[in-house]
Structure 1
Amino acid sequence: MSAIKWTRRQLIGATAVLFASASLPAFADYNPKLLRIGYQKSAATLVLLKGNGTLEKKLAPQGIEVKWVEFPAGPQLLEGLNVGSIDFGYVGETPPIVAQAAGANFVYVGYEKPAPQAEAILVPKDSPIKTVADLKGKKVALNKGSNVHYLLVKALEKAGLKYADVTVNFLTPADARAAFERAAIDAWVIWDPFTAAAEKQTGARVLTNAVGVANNHQFFLAEREFATKRPDLTKLLFDEVSTQGAWVEKNIKAAAAQLSPIQGLPAEVIELSLSRYPQGVHPLEDSVLDAQQKIADTFAELKLIPAPIRVKDATLGAKRLAANP
């Protein structure tokens, strides 16, 4: 399979192609009395924070309303940041690379420690595929532009294969799970809690996770104007995320029980997923941004983004550059 080139229009429009049913709120100018947080249902800490309402209580005296906007995956959330429908969000390491290449107006504001055990390449329990090298010529599914896109590239490289040695099918997690169960694909590259669900419910076998292959950082991002004007809200949000995260780490069973009806997964699946993710938020470090740059350079070499980017341009210390044509 030859490398797929994404134009700027295709990159920014990826949401409409992949999730035609997902609609974004209309563009809105910055509102100092409204904090709009984008989240994914799989983001345990933010889901629990939303549920307990502590952030709303902290901001009520300032007359600030909190609005939570759910997205199906990271690329869609980045599109929300780009069009101004949210101020703040949480995604994996690859969606920001793709979005920055498309000219999206966001900045990195924090990160979580690496979670390499929380993403994996899965094969059916009775699959004859035993190693990553066995994937040569096989059909592999993943969510386009998601964090696992980089995992596949690096895992193949480690096994002596090229990205072009496999046929990549771009499928949403739900569609990929269905294809996986009916054997329409040979392998599925996916993140938790979808990984844990497939392991527990179908007996899926982990061909490899990201340990020794990719970091799998999770990032907190903000719309540039919001991040510049309201660092106080970013700090407050980080304090609440850290408090909630510390509780999750000490109370995984209780957290899983609360999340089960929200995420629509058995508590045991969520427990396994939570055990693979470190909780809490940390200030940006050069080493983390350097790791992001390696992903960006790899994607540029493979023509998975239209042109090279400089990751540090998407930080508060850099001015926004003009979008790539």
Structure 2
Amino acid sequence: MASFLNSSWAKFGILSASIASLMMLSGCSKKQETTTLNIGFQKYGLLPIVKERGDLDKALKEKGINVKWVEFPAGPQLLEGLNVGSVSFGESGEAPPIFAQAANSNLVYVANQPAAPKAEALIVPKDSKIQSVQDLKGKRIVLNKGSNVHYLLLKVLEANKLKLDDIQVVYLPPADARAAFEKGAVDAWVIWDPFFAAAEQQLGAKVIATGENLVSNHQFYLADRKFAEANPEILKAVVNELNTTTQWVSAHQDEAARLLEKPTGLPLSVLQTSISRMGFGVTPISNEVAKEQQYVADAFFQQKLIPNQINIQAAILANSTK
């Protein structure tokens, strides 16, 4: 773990340098002063921990900037918020920014957390007769459209020589998907933590497949392009705090879980399991990660889930890919 964290900090230095270069560029042009930063977050993840700790709010307050935290139920909705300007910064899994970019959203990838393939899975009810992916033929599988698990479903089917046409896909956000799952209205659910861990512990859900050996499941930090280019100092402060927080979470997982108990309403054990499956670190977008993200985008285009091919590299923050 120590060697990884050291490597993470080294890469973080590269990211800070990249943002510093944006500062020099932004100084060459007149820009409107930012006094409020709207950050999009979900109930679970690194950003809500940043919110609960309060250090980012304090750091930016000293610079005359207020932070407004805007909650979203999932990544696709958060990216829509980024697109319409209700937030300037946020995090999501792999798929939402691809759908957003295909819809001409002016976003940029700022950084990512390491792979966390065990943090998402295809699950079935505890009494289900489904024992393998092959048993899913003709079954109703629920997921949040355009989320990270959308790609997981494609890879699970591909690995078992099945196609989307072999199943019935039902699109619902996590809360509605869980209700449908509990009532038996669907046969399987493709979902991420902490909903995944909650279904395991509270419903006795059986795991048919996780993302292990199939997908990376990166968490990405994204910003509105105009905001990123005009406010590099603010962006640097945010990334600094993300890095400080991920190092703290890695060393204090139980305490981090307790921070999220009240805002999520989830049992401590569910949060502990979820955090243990998280990827620790915040690094610039590497060439390898950019290529992996391009594979996801290409797969979505081939399945006609997005209307046009996109170039991931074109959406990466200038000078951040190393």
Is 1:282–2:300 an aligned residue pair?
no
In percent, how many aligned pairs have the same letter?
Answer: 53
**What does the per-residue CA deviation read over 1:88-140, in whole Å, with 9 as the maximum and x for residues that have no partner?**
11000000010100011110010000000000000111211111121111110
TM-score (norm 1): 0.86
Whichever residue aligns with residue 297 of structure 2, its letter is A
Distance 2:245 2:73 in 1: 22
**What does the per-residue CA deviation read over 1:222-268, in whole Å, with 9 as the maximum and x for residues that have no partner?**
00011112222222111111111111111111221221111010000
Distance 1:192 1:59 in 2: 30
Q: CA deviation at 1:31?
A: 5.1
Distance 1:68 1:167 in 2: 36
Is 1:314–2:315 an aligned residue pair?
yes
Q: 1:41 aligns with which of 31, 43, 49?
A: 43
Whichever residue aligns with residue 118 of structure 1, its letter is A
Which stretch of the first structure deviates more once superposed, 276-285 or 106-115?
Answer: 276-285
| 1:78–1:95 CA contact under 8 A, matched in 2 | yes
Distance 1:192 1:206 in 2: 13
**How many positions carry a matched residue from both structures?**
289
Whichever residue aligns with residue 238 of structure 2, its letter is L
| 1:30–1:226 CA contact under 8 A, matched in 2 | no
| 2:52–2:259 CA contact under 8 A, matched in 1 | no
Matches for 1:119-198 after TM superposition, within 5 Å? 119-198=120-199
RMSD, aligned α-carbons = 1.4
Which residue of 2 is the match for residue 3 of structure 1?
none
| 2:109–2:223 CA contact under 8 A, matched in 1 | yes
**What does the per-residue CA deviation read over 1:281-320, in whole Å, with 9 as the maximum and x for residues that have no partner?**
10111111111111111111111011111111212349xx
Richer in helix (by share): 2
TM-score (norm 2): 0.87
Which stretch of the first structure deviates more once superposed, 109-118 or 244-253?
Answer: 244-253
1:120 aligned counterpart, secondary structure:
strand
| 2:143–2:150 CA contact under 8 A, matched in 1 | yes
**What does the per-residue CA deviation read over 1:53-107, in whole Å, with 9 as the maximum and x for residues that have no partner?**
2112212222111111111110111111111111111000000010100011110
Which segments of 5 or more consecutive residues in structure 2 lack a partner in the other structure?
A: 1-30
Q: CA deviation at 1:30?
A: 6.6
Distance 2:218 2:175 in 1: 23
Distance 1:117 1:57 in 2: 34
Distance 1:31 1:125 in 2: 55
